[in-house]
């Protein structure tokens, strides 16, 4: 199964990550954290970008003009330093330098005043020690998504960037076995879920954002100690709709994906804003795969007396 992947991985605290993380893992764990930091964490393809935009605007009092610069510049994406193959690092040199600066001095450039917005897919266990031990007031927002839809989204993402060329069914098996990047899914998710009652962590679900975005925005505002009026929440929801985000050049021009796509899958199709729906698995999985996912979910949740993802 692993033959379908093209990059060497290693295990870190039991998680499958690109080997390049070795160079950075110590800096990451020892990194300085500031009280006003806002961290958006997730397993990949769970609605991270959506959550990032929502969190950024809630923290900025729903001032949509503040979001008129690339999301990539508003957030530091820590994982870039090990996601991009060394030979391509020159394409994102300034981003990498920014991350290195952050690791060494804990500071960004002088232009980055105010809260630092940081995003990462690294598992809870590899987050900076200072973020985990409660010695700062920094905030973590974690977003999770039904693993079935997450796996479908990840499958299409990997096809798009030319990292995988097998079937959805094969990918689903790899996903459940925890052999894809950042896996195992439940280990990643439950490590954050276990901290859901910490006062510095907010645990959100993609499906709740789909069902009732205004409520999730209010919850996030309370968490970030912000007050938003209904007059602010209305336009914010409009701004955060799938169509609006898909057509927003500050968001949809994901530089990292552009680089990977142009290098590894120049002729290929696929886009980052794909469908943005819940329960796609009901269409895309066959009966056998549905069964496999049910069993896998049961196996991984029974020790918590939970029956399914919905109980999280």
- What's the closest the beta carbon of residue 157 comes to ligand A3P, in angstroms? 7
Chain residue whose CB lies nearest ligand A3P = 276
- Rounded to the nearest whole angstrom, what is the least distance from the CB of residue 110 to ligand A3P in the complex? 29
Name residues whose C-beta falls within 8 Å of residue 207's C-beta, 6 or more positions apart in sequence.
145, 146, 278
How far apart are alpha carbons 52 and 61 in whole angstroms?
A: 14
Q: Which of 119, 121, 156, 157 is catalytic?
A: 121
Phi and psi based region of residue 243 (left: phi greater than 0; alpha: psi -120 to 50; beta: remaining): alpha
To ligand A3P, the closest distance from the beta carbon of 49 in angstroms equals 3
Residue 23, Cα to own-chain centre: how many angstroms?
21
Which residues are near ligand A3P by CB under 6 A? 42, 44-50, 149, 153, 156, 240, 242, 245, 273-276
The minimum distance between CB 122 and ligand A3P, in angstroms, equals 14
Query: Which residues in the chain belong to E strands, given as ranges?
Result: 9-12, 15-18, 38-42, 75-77, 117-120, 139-144, 201-205
Nearer to ligand A3P, 103 or 186 (CB): 186
Q: Which is nearer to ligand A3P, 48 or 189 (CB)?
A: 48
If the CB atoms of residues 48 and 300 are measured against ligand A3P, the closer one turns out to be 48
Q: 121 catalytic, yes or no? A: yes
Spatial distance between the Cα atoms of 97 and 269, rounded to a whole number of angstroms:
31
Catalytic residues: 121
């Amino acid at each position: 199964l692993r033959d379908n992947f093209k990059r060497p991985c290693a295990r870190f605290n039991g998680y499958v990550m690109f080997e390049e993380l070795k160079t950075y893992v110590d800096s990451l764990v020892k990194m300085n954290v500031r009280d006003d930091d806002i961290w958006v964490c997730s397993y990949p393809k769970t609605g991270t970008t959506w959550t990032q935009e929502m969190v950024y605007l809630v923290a900025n009092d729903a001032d949509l003009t503040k979001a008129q610069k690339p999301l990539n510049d508003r957030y530091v994406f820590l994982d870039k330093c090990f996601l991009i193959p060394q030979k391509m690092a020159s394409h994102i040199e300034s981003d990498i330098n920014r991350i290195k600066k952050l690791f060494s001095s804990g500071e960004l450039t002088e232009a980055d005043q105010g809260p630092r917005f940081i995003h990462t897919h690294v598992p809870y266990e590899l987050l900076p020690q200072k973020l985990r031990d409660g010695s700062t007031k920094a905030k973590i927002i974690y977003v999770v998504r039904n693993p079935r839809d997450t796996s479908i989204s990840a499958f299409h993402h990997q096809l798009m960037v030319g990292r995988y060329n097998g079937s959805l069914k094969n990918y689903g098996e790899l996903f459940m076995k925890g052999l894809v990047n950042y896996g195992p899914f439940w280990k990643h998710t439950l490590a954050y879920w276990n901290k859901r009652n910490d006062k510095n962590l907010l645990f959100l679900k993609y499906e709740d954002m789909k069902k009732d975005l205004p409520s999730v925005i209010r919850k996030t505002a309370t968490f970030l100690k912000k007050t938003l009026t209904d007059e602010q929440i209305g336009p914010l929801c409009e701004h955060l709709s799938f169509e609006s985000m898909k057509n927003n050049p500050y968001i949809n021009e994901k530089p990292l994906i552009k680089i990977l796509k142009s290098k590894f899958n120049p002729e290929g199709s696929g886009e980052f804003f794909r469908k943005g729906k819940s329960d796609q698995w009901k269409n895309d999985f066959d009966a056998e795969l549905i069964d496999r996912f049910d069993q896998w979910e049961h196996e991984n949740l029974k020790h918590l007396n939970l029956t399914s993802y919905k109980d999280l």
